[in-house]
A and B are shown apart, each in its own frame.
Chain A
């Protein structure tokens, strides 16, 4: 079946540290891959996406590369800020007659000043 497995949290880092949140997937066909972010008290926001193998999605200093050979889409940021504290969800999108998206369980990130 189709599924997403991501690194369990919580993850706590100091400001300006390097961030990696691991995500691997299982899917039939050729999914698109996403990272969504959920700030406290808010809804889900699309952070970045990649639609095919070797694509790199990037936004707000975050990056993730679609690796088909390792079925991974790890999220990285070179220098995190306190404002990056949130829950991050890896997801895969499947497209037939309509879009369907399947989420991982989320990783809570806390950044210390």
Chain B
């Protein structure tokens, strides 16, 4: 079974530029998550989708971050404009009731804002 796929793995941008990350969850997983992990901290949930609907986006900085999952499969997370403090690893994860609700993570997209 293929895991959660993310791209790009690494990205360096200047502040005020924009960036987009893509995620393809495990096949059949209805729930998709985007987490932000700042160096030295635990992952923080940014947004959670159930199929193509948003379940929780309470910690998403909506003035600069947006995410969509239009067809209920893959998802895109966008940052525009980026700030220095957005430097982090962006982790995509997915889960399914059929897999016992265990959450599986991708390898992450490492963002550096300079």
Contact = CB atoms under 8 A, between A and B. Distances in A.
Interface of A: 4, 32, 36, 42-46, 49, 51, 89, 93, 95, 97-106
Interface of A is mostly: strand
B103 A93 contact: yes
A102 B41 CA distance: 12
A29 to B, nearest CB: 14
A98 B48 contact: yes
A105 B41 contact: yes
A62 B69 CA distance: 36
A42 B56 CA distance: 26
B55 A98 contact: yes
Q: Looking at chain B, what size class is its interface with the partner chain?
A: 20 to 34
B38 to A, nearest CB: 10
Q: Which of A42, A43, A95, A97 has the most chain B CB within a 10 Å cutoff? A: A43
A99 B105 contact: no
Contact of B101 (A36, A93, A104, A106): A93
A85 B93 CA distance: 23
Given A103-B43, A104-B42, A97 B55 contact: yes
B108 A43 contact: yes
Interface of B: 30-31, 33, 40-45, 48, 50, 55-56, 91, 93, 95, 100-108
Given A46-B102, A103-B42, 4 more contacts: A4-B42, A44-B105, A89-B43, A106-B41
A-B pairs with the 4 shortest C-beta distances? Answer: A103-B42, A43-B107, A44-B105, A99-B101
A32 B43 CA distance: 17
Contacts of B107: 42-43
6 contacts: A43-B106, A43-B107, A89-B42, A101-B33, A105-B42, A106-B41
Nearest to B94: A99
A78 to B, nearest CB: 25
B43 A95 contact: no
Contacts of B45: 100-102
